[in-house]
Amino acid sequence: MIPATEPSASRALVAAAAAAALPSQFLTFMLGEEQFAVGILHIKEIIEYASLATVPMMPPCVRGVINLRGAVVPVLDLSARFGRASSPISKRSCIVIVELADSDGKQVLGMLVDAVNAVVDIGAADIEPPPAFGTRIRPDFIAGIGKAGGRFVSLLAIDRVLSGEEIVALARAAQH
């Protein structure tokens, strides 16, 4: 047990435990000039941006829905989810299809991103805890900061970013 007089050692242990819980392979992508990553175990597929069907009374972060092999999949604009302007659509825009576990089983969602980069390996030793302040997005959305290819990458806590309960609450707020 670490004595209470050593907060930096305690913080280091917590950071090491959190980094060990993260996957080692991540899909990196761009939102504006910033690079983000999601653990590949959540990634189902990556598709080219195609026209979306809009759904009335949805929060700004829900860009619309797509038909993915007969299933209706909501597509969230990550830039808007982070409180920024909506992502402009370009030739490199992609929809990253992710699968998350929820109380009803599995939930499939699409994330609109500006560009997909690559799958990278980031070892636990190259992952730092998320900063407590100074980020442009909610701190609880960041699982850690990884170092890949000489650049820092924000590793997203995708289950928090795409929380079904929170998206439903945003939709209800948009209706009132």
Residue 89 lies in a domain: yes
Task: Quote the Cα angle for 92-94-98, to 5°.
Answer: 155
Indicate which CATH number applies to the domain containing 13.
Answer: 2.40.50.180
Going by DSSP bridges, is the β-strand pair 127-128/105-113 parallel, antiparallel, or unpaired? unpaired
Where in the sequence is the domain holding 23, given as residue range(s)? 7-175
Residue 149 lies in a domain: yes
CB 18 within 8 A of CB 144: yes
Of 43, 132, 135, nearest in space to 82 by CA: 135
Q: Residue 22: its pLDDT value, please?
A: 60
Q: Residue 111: its pLDDT value, please?
A: 95
User: For the chain, how many structural domains are there in total?
Assistant: 1
pTM to 2 decimals?
A: 0.80
Q: Residue 139: its pLDDT value, please?
A: 85
Torsion of CA 147, 148, 154, 158, to 10 degrees: -120
State pLDDT tens for residues 130-142. 877 666 788 889 9
In Å, how far are 82, 123, 158 from 101, measured between CA atoms? 22, 24, 11
Residue 107 lies in a domain: yes
> In the chain, where do the E strands start and end?
25-31, 34-39, 43-48, 62-68, 71-77, 94-102, 105-113, 115-121, 127-128, 142-148, 151-156
Q: Residue 126: its pLDDT value, please?
A: 92
Q: Residue 135: its pLDDT value, please?
A: 67
Phi/psi region, residue 134 (left: phi>0; alpha: psi -120 to 50; beta: rest), is: left
3-state secondary structure of 87: coil
Residue 1 lies in a domain: no
Q: Residue 4: its pLDDT value, please?
A: 45
Distance CA 71, CA 113 (A): 21
- Residues of the chain predicted below pLDDT 50: 1-19, 171, 173-176
Residue 2 lies in a domain: no
